[in-house]
Amino acid sequence: MSGEEHQVDGRALRHQHRRPELLAAAVEDILDHGIAELSLRPMAKELGVTHATLLRHFGSKEQLITEVVDHIRAGLFTAPPPQRRTPATQAESMWAVWCRLCEPSERRQFALLFELVAVEARDPGRFSSVAPVLVTNFLVPLEASMRNLGMSRRVARDVATGYLAHVRGLQLDLAVTGDRRRVDAAMKHYINTVTRLDS
């Protein structure tokens, strides 16, 4: 190989430590403004960097959105619930996650996910690399959590899929109606039913 093929972008190396900081800032920017009119140039200006810097770190708008969604996914279901004791049962653990997801900061993240789902449904392939993140990458930690709570491998994926569907559906309901009491009751019914069936 030639020397040029081994050449490394020195600017990328010097500023690589800024990538986590830029991703965190991009997450907040996208959560605040959505993706409908997302453009990297205005975002770069708002973040105080150049357009070239964003491209150097993330490659494209699609790749940036993919990383933002995956960053959100990593926090939605893996952060510990805000409580003093560890949940003793599957039902308690699932309920604790649901309660945390109903916090205002988490509901803001669901608004972005709904926007992405709508875009992908109307224009398949527009964000082709985002689609797997919206489903498969959410199921992996949920399924692992179900397994850790004692569910069999056979049941864990089905329960994780159903739970994710209920979370999304009830979050959409909550966003539209604001009826927390009703959606909480529906989630409690689902959790009690599915954990009883697996016992």
The CATH number of residue 20's host domain is 1.10.10
**Residues 83, 179: one domain?**
yes
**147 and 174 part of one domain:** yes
Domain identity same for 103 and 166: yes
pLDDT at 116 exceeding the cut of 80? yes
Quick one: pLDDT at residue 194? 86
The range of the structural domain enclosing residue 117 comes to 68-198
Q: Mind giving me the DSSP string for the chain?
A: --TGGG---HHHHHTGGGHHHHHHHHHHHHHHH-STT--HHHHHHHHTS-HHHHHHHHSSHHHHHHHHHHHHHHHHTTSPPSSSS--SSHHHHHHHHHHHHTSHHHHHHHHHHHHHHHHHHHSTTTTTTTHHHHHHHHHHHHHHHHHHTT--HHHHHHHHHHHHHHHHHHHHHHHHH--HHHHHHHHHHHHHHHHHHH-
Is residue 46 domain-shared with residue 84, that is, in the same domain? Answer: no
| Residues sharing a CB contact under 8 Å with residue 182, sequence separation 6 or more, in sequence order | 173
- pLDDT tens-digit map of 36-65: 888 999 999 999 999 999 999 999 988 898
Q: Are residues 48 and 90 in the same domain?
A: no
pLDDT at 78: 60
- The reply to whether 180 and 91 lie within a common domain is yes
Stronger pLDDT, 164 or 138, i.e. the higher one: 164
> How many domains in the chain?
2
Residue 5 has pLDDT above 70, yes or no: no
What's the longest Cα–Cα distance across the chain? 66
Q: Indicate whether 95 and 154 sit together in one domain.
A: yes
Measured distance CA(87)–CA(181) in Å, rounded: 22
In this structure, the answer to whether residues 101 and 6 fall within a common structural domain is no
Q: Are 16 and 102 in a shared domain?
A: no
pTM of the shown model = 0.72
pLDDT tens column, 168-192: 999 999 999 999 999 999 999 999 9
Identify whether residues 74 and 50 lie together within a single domain. Answer: no
Question: Is 167 found in the same domain as 132?
Answer: yes
Tell me the pLDDT band of 18, cut-offs 50, 70 and 90: confident
Q: Are residues 92 and 17 in the same domain?
A: no
Domain final residue pick, 12, 27, 59? 59
Highest mean pLDDT among 90-94, 109-113, 165-169, 182-186: 182-186
